[in-house]
Amino acid sequence: MAWVVERHGARGTRYRGGYRDPDGRLRSAGTFSTRRDALRAANREEQKVLAGAWHDTTLGEVTFHDYVRGEWLPNKHVEASTRAAYISYLNKHFYPYFGQRKLNRISPSLVQDWVTEAKGAGLSPRSIRKYHVMLSSIFARAVKDRVLVHNPCDHTELPKVITRKARTLTPDEYTRLLAAIPEQHRLMVETLIEAGLRWGELIALKPRHIDFLRRSLTVEETIVEVSKKHSPTGQRYLVKPYPKDNEPRSFGVRQAWLDAIAQHIQTNHIGHDDLLFATRAGTPISRNTFRTRIWLPSVKTSGIDFPVRVHDLRHAHASWLLAGGADLASVMERMGHSQIQTTQKYLHTLPDTDQRNLDALTRIQNRGDS
């Protein structure tokens, strides 16, 4: 039951409303000039306690940095690579802006200001949306912990992501690009187009993943490269036992590629559990190093007139399969996609697809006129 405590002082008589919080601790509803106002305030707080809607406003006095470091991050049950990415995002985007602010002082308008400034600084709309999801999850956890009453990320106006139609590398362009790749890296690039692998899956390949008799390849590991200072283990490369969808996938490969791989293994004395493609020291190849030292110069030398990423070879693999008549479901399994919609985006992406459609229409129409 709420109560009132009467206090006499130099300024006259004052009345403080009192009640108990959900844990039974004594709480003050404030000090007032009349008994009636004090009791009314205490009753309001007591009703919130009884309704389960009471909130301890003092909890929100914790800073964003301290809450994230002490509560949110330690309780995120994610893979080491994801945790390392979170730490990087926090250090780069969130701690400088929100770090020393108290959680209960971070308003929706402040979050909106962060979005506006990030866009003005050149951060892409897609990246802003990704980081905003993470920021919102921090505040959502604070609401669940009853540190905050509302999530200040709710109803943020985010920049629109304009999806541009990606250009797919054609077989002719790929041939020119492959010719520009230094010979010692050529088989690795051929493997990307042969199997449609993600980079982490490619550099994790070992001879034991290849079945030469059944002419198949099994993807069961992936390697993630992170900054050492953000890595929970202090290691630059983190090996994950399974790729993205958490279960190995096997698919067929062509004999010509198998022959080239067999020769590569024999020539370089690669052991059964060694990396197929590695540095001279036997360590995983850095994606960024390969991109800057090998890939970009080769793209320039090839004369291809649009930006081509290493990951675009995976896109080309799927597009070529579908353009060649492969069924959607089998390509989905081969690529390791969890949803058919992801695979569908590779339909009709080759530059000459529309012309082939028109040629087919003409053939059918001419057949009807004859």
Q: What is the pLDDT along the chain (370 residues), one digit of tens a residue?
A: 888 889 888 778 999 999 888 888 888 888 999 999 999 998 988 888 888 777 777 777 899 999 999 999 999 988 877 888 899 899 999 999 999 999 999 999 999 999 999 999 999 999 999 999 999 999 999 999 888 889 999 999 999 988 777 788 999 999 999 999 999 999 999 999 999 999 999 999 999 999 999 999 999 999 888 776 666 666 788 787 766 556 789 999 999 999 999 999 999 999 999 999 999 999 999 999 999 999 999 999 999 989 999 999 999 999 888 888 888 888 888 888 888 888 888 776 666 666 666 676 667 667 756 5
Q: What is the pLDDT of residue 366?
A: 76
How many CB atoms sit inside 10 A of residue 319's CB?
24
Q: What is the pLDDT of residue 311?
A: 94
Contact between residue 112 and residue 106 where contact means Cβ atoms under 8 Å apart: no
Q: What is the pLDDT of residue 336?
A: 86
Using CA atoms, how far residue 119 sits from 76, 92, 125, in Å, is 28, 15, 7
Using CA atoms, how far residue 307 sits from 13, 164, 182, 197, in Å, is 77, 13, 19, 20
β-strand partners of 18: 3, 28
Q: What is the pLDDT of residue 254?
A: 94
109 phi, psi to nearest 5 deg: -70, -30
β-strand partners of 238: 224
d(Cα 319, Cα 326) in Å, to the nearest integer? 10
Using CA atoms, how far residue 71 sits from 45, 115, 135, 144, 243, in Å, is 27, 24, 14, 12, 29
Contact between residue 245 and residue 307 where contact means Cβ atoms under 8 Å apart: no
Burial class (CB in 10 A: 0-12, 13-18, 19+), 300: exposed
Tell which residue, 241, 240, 287, 286, has the closest CA to residue 83. Answer: 240
Q: What is the pLDDT of residue 348?
A: 66
Tell which residue, 243, 254, 248, has the closest CA to residue 212. Answer: 254
Mapped onto helix, strand or coil, the DSSP state of residue 185 is helix
Q: Note the maximum CA span of the chain.
A: 111
Q: What is the pLDDT of residue 358?
A: 64
